[in-house]
C-alpha cells in the first residue's frame, strides 16, 4: 500500500492507493476484507473514507468509528460517477474526489454492493451463464445490451479486468443473503 498523488489515483484507482490530506485518508481500490480492516486499524487517528464496493459496509461501520464514509468506485466508467455514503457529510472529501475527476453521487442506502455494482454484477453473471449455455457469443451479448437497452457498455466490457471484483461481490452477497441467485458463473 502506498500514498498516491492525485494524478496516480485518477489514472489507476483500482489498485490499493490512498489519498491523504489533513486528518483524512481516502482509500481507493480493491483489497480483501481483512486488508480493508487492517487499513482502518492502522489509521485510527484519521477520518477514513473507503471504497467498499465488494463488502457489507454495515459490518465495517459497526466495527470502526474512524470510518466516516464509504463509496463504490470499482465499476465506474469513464464518467467516473461513484456512489458515496457519509456518516456525516464531508465537503472536503467531496471536493477532493471532484479534484480527482470523480463525480460523487450521494446515497442514503447502506447495503452490500451499493446499488449500481450490485445490479451490474448480476447482469454480468447472467451474461456469463448465457455464454456457458451457448445462447450467444460475447460480442452478440455485448451488442444486445448496448443497442437493446442502451447501456454504455456490454456486460463483458464492464467485467473485463474486473472479474475478481464481480466474483468477490457475488460471493459476499451469497454469504450475506443465502440467495442462490448470487452463485457465480463457473466461467467468471
Decide which of 106, 127, 145 is a domain's last residue: 106
**How far is it, in rounded angstroms, from Cα 22 to Cα 178?**
41
- Which domain does 140 fall in, by range? 116-182
CA dihedral 102, 108, 110, 113 (to 10 degrees): -40
pLDDT of 1 reads: 37
Using the structure block, give the residue that is written with the C-alpha cell 467531496.
94
* Mean pLDDT taken over the chain: 90
Q: How would residue 150 be classed by pLDDT, with cut points 50, 70 and 90?
A: very high
Is 71 in the same domain as 131?
A: no
The per-residue b/e assignment along 32-44, b for 16 or more CB within 10 angstroms, e otherwise, is eeeebbebbeebe
Listed residues 81, 106, 131: the one ending a domain: 106
pLDDT of residue 133: 96
More confident residue, 79 or 4: 79
Query: pLDDT above 90 covers what percent of the chain?
Result: 81
pLDDT at site 56:
95
Question: Could you tell me if 120 and 163 lie in one domain?
Answer: yes
pLDDT confidence band for 15 (50 / 70 / 90): low
Query: Is residue 52 one of the residues assigned to a domain?
Result: yes
State the total domains in the chain. 2
Which three cell numbers, joined as nine digits, stand for 155?
456486460
Unique residue bearing C-alpha cell 467468471: 188
End-to-end CA, the chain: 27
Same-domain status, 13 and 71: yes
**pLDDT per residue as tens digits for the range 58-85:** 999 999 999 999 999 998 878 899 999 9
In three-state form (DSSP H/G/I as H, E/B as E, the rest C), the secondary structure along 82-134 is: EEEEECCCCHHHHHHHHHCCCEEEECCCCCCCCCHHHHHHHHHHHHHHHHHCC
Cβ–Cβ < 8 Å for 29, 17: yes
11-15, 16-20, 93-97: the lowest-pLDDT one: 11-15
36 & 80 share domain: yes
Q: Are residues 45 and 16 in the same domain?
A: yes
Amino acid at each position: 500500500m502506498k500514498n498516491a498523488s492525485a494524478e496516480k489515483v485518477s489514472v489507476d484507482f483500482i489498485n490499493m492507493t490512498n489519498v491523504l490530506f489533513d486528518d483524512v485518508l481516502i482509500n481507493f481500490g480493491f483489497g480483501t476484507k481483512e486488508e480493508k480492516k487492517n487499513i482502518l486499524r492502522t489509521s485510527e487517528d484519521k477520518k477514513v473514507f473507503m471504497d467498499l464496493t465488494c463488502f457489507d459496509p454495515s459490518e465495517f461501520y459497526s466495527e470502526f468509528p474512524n470510518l466516516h464514509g464509504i463509496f463504490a468506485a470499482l465499476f465506474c466508467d469513464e464518467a467516473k460517477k461513484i456512489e458515496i455514503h457519509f456518516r456525516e457529510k464531508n465537503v472536503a472529501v467531496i471536493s477532493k474526489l471532484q479534484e480527482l475527476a470523480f463525480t460523487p453521487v450521494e446515497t442514503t442506502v447502506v447495503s452490500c454492493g451499493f446499488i449500481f455494482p450490485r445490479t451490474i454484477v448480476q447482469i454480468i453473471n447472467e451474461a456469463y451463464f448465457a455464454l456457458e449455455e451457448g445462447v450467444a457469443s460475447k460480442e452478440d451479448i455485448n451488442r444486445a445490451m448496448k443497442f437493446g437497452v442502451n447501456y454504455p457498455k456490454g456486460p463483458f466490457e464492464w467485467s473485463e479486468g474486473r472479474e475478481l471484483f464481480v466474483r468477490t461481490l457475488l460471493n459476499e452477497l451469497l454469504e450475506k443473503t443465502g440467495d442462490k441467485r448470487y452463485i457465480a458463473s463457473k466461467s467468471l
